[in-house]
A and B are shown apart, each in its own frame.
Chain A
Amino acid sequence: MDESMNVPVLPASKKEPSRLIVFLKTILAVVWKDLVTELRSRELLSGMLVFALSVILIFNFALELDLPTRRIVTSGVLWVTFAFAGTLGLNRSMAIEKDRGCLDGLLLAPVDRSAIYFGKAISNLAFMLIVEAIILPVYSLLYNTNLFSPGLLGVIILGSIGYVAVGTLLASMAVQARTRDILLPILLFPVAIPVLLASVKASEGLLQGLASTEIMPWVNLLLVYDVIFIAVAFMTFDNVVEE
């Protein structure tokens, strides 16, 4: 037999790394893999971006509004755009794993599977934030509305975290089904109503310059939603991805 065919034996590991370090390294590995593959293929971001731009263009031409009315509808238009584009991205992100059996490759790794969830969720959040960072200036130009306030950006980040936290979990469930493309929105939108409602209301309050006492309840709701769904995903992801 050819010498090069010899299967090398792995030397025994001297020291087992701690569980937390393994957990964090797994998250980093998944995020790195998702970012590098997306950087090369651009299939996920380009789809999300084209879709999001089309939605705000359609709204721009469909709603010929005066400036005060624009301020009222801005948060709704923005979050509809983010939610739809986000759903596209979530679906595609898990479909890429499933189509070539890579989801099995991930699940075969001897790691805490919730680390895989966090890795996928962080990548999905990064993609959603990139799309939002492009959409916001375009929207500002088209609607002649200034969207660059720290408060609004904070709400957008909190809302995106909540949406991605629940979306990644449900996308992992939906990807096992043949009807995954229609299943994810059906599962996601009802569960995401609190985060979308709170995001729209908080954004609207900030754009209209309402007092913080009127905005904070919605921001608190966003925070609670984020914490609850991250915890739920942490506890259930292992069962969700198993057949």
Chain B
Amino acid sequence: MIIEVHKLVKRFGAKLVLRGLDFSVNEGEFVALIGPNGAGKTTFLRVLSSLARPSLGSVSIAGFQLPAQAASVRRNLGVVSHLPLLYSDLTAQENLRFYGKMYCVTGLNQRIEEVLEMVGLSTRRNDLVRTFSRGMQQRLAIGRAVLHDPAILLFDEPYTGLDQEACDMLNQILQDVAGRGRTIVMTSHDLGRVQNLASRFDVLTGGIIAASTTPSALGHRNLLNFYRQALTG
């Protein structure tokens, strides 16, 4: 297992967000975490990405424990959220250069060229990010996340605010990353988008994984029906 979570509890003051959640992912799996607003999806991804400490329970990623070995965990992670995590007053190239230095990427110049090519922003490399559309910023955010070639990619609602063209491009990148054996965990409440991408669907509601299925187990059944059943228990 590349990700193993046991009895994870996360509380903010008196509010219990994750209630003893168990979760595991095999290497190369593409897991879509689906659930209603407030289910704890973003909090769960923040714990996985070491941005929030677990209150209780154990989290192991790529063989490293959180929070004790957080830096080693982060080396194996690429994170894309609905915010681009980019500096609007730096160019696309400068943003990648900055993050490349933060991740100690070797052969950085060549790597930046490759990544800009991958996300289709080679011609805009010297433009300030503040002049980019939301879709272009999200593509660059994906470039930032894969710059250090992480084994695991975490996507938190990556489709938020994207137009159809940008969504299609994001799908293409996701399929390609998954095709190269990278492990992906993605939160979304857009079932239509994740249905054709993920190799597993986990329903997170009330702070636990309430149900889990795969495309083959679903068969002809609709993901939406499965999701509704999971929510109603």
Chain A interface (Cβ < 8 Å from any Cβ of B): 1-2, 4-11, 13-14, 17, 22, 25-26, 28-29, 32-33, 36-37, 40-41, 100-102, 104-112, 242-243
Contacts and interface: CB of A to CB of B under 8 A. Distances in A.
User: On chain B, which size bracket covers the interface?
Assistant: 35 or more
B175 A1 contact: yes
B11 to A, nearest CB: 11
A243 B99 CA distance: 22
Contact of A40 (B89, B120, B149, B177): B89
Contacts of A36: 89-90, 94
Contact of A101 (B50, B83, B149, B180): B83
A102 B87 CA distance: 7
A1 B173 CA distance: 10
Contacts of B118: 4-8
B74 A108 contact: yes
14 contacts: A7-B176, A7-B180, A8-B118, A9-B180, A10-B149, A36-B90, A37-B87, A40-B128, A104-B51, A104-B79, A105-B86, A108-B85, A110-B75, A242-B52
A47 to B, nearest CB: 15
B90 A101 contact: no
A242 B51 contact: yes
A13 B176 contact: no
B125 interface: no
B14 interface: no
Interface of B: 46, 49-53, 71-72, 74-75, 77, 79, 81, 83-90, 94, 98-99, 101-107, 111, 114-115, 117-118, 120, 128, 144, 146, 148-149, 172-173, 175-177, 180, 182
A90 B105 CA distance: 30
A4 B123 CA distance: 13
Contacts of B99: 105, 109
Nearest to A11: B107
B74 A101 contact: no
A111 B71 contact: yes
B20 to A, nearest CB: 19
Nearest to B145: A108
B90 A109 contact: no
Nearest to B120: A4
Given A101-B81, A104-B79, 15 more contacts: A5-B118, A6-B176, A7-B118, A7-B176, A28-B101, A37-B90, A40-B128, A101-B85, A108-B51, A109-B74, A109-B99, A110-B75, A242-B51, A242-B52, A243-B46
Given A33-B98, A104-B51, A109-B99, A10 B148 contact: yes
B142 to A, nearest CB: 9
A200 to B, nearest CB: 36
B92 to A, nearest CB: 14
Contact of B173 (A5, A11, A108): A5
Nearest to B94: A36
Contacts of A37: 87, 89-90
B177 A7 contact: yes
Contact of A104 (B71, B85, B149, B177): B85
B106 A8 contact: no
A131 B99 CA distance: 29
A2 B175 CA distance: 12
B9 to A, nearest CB: 14
Nearest to B115: A8
A110 B172 contact: no
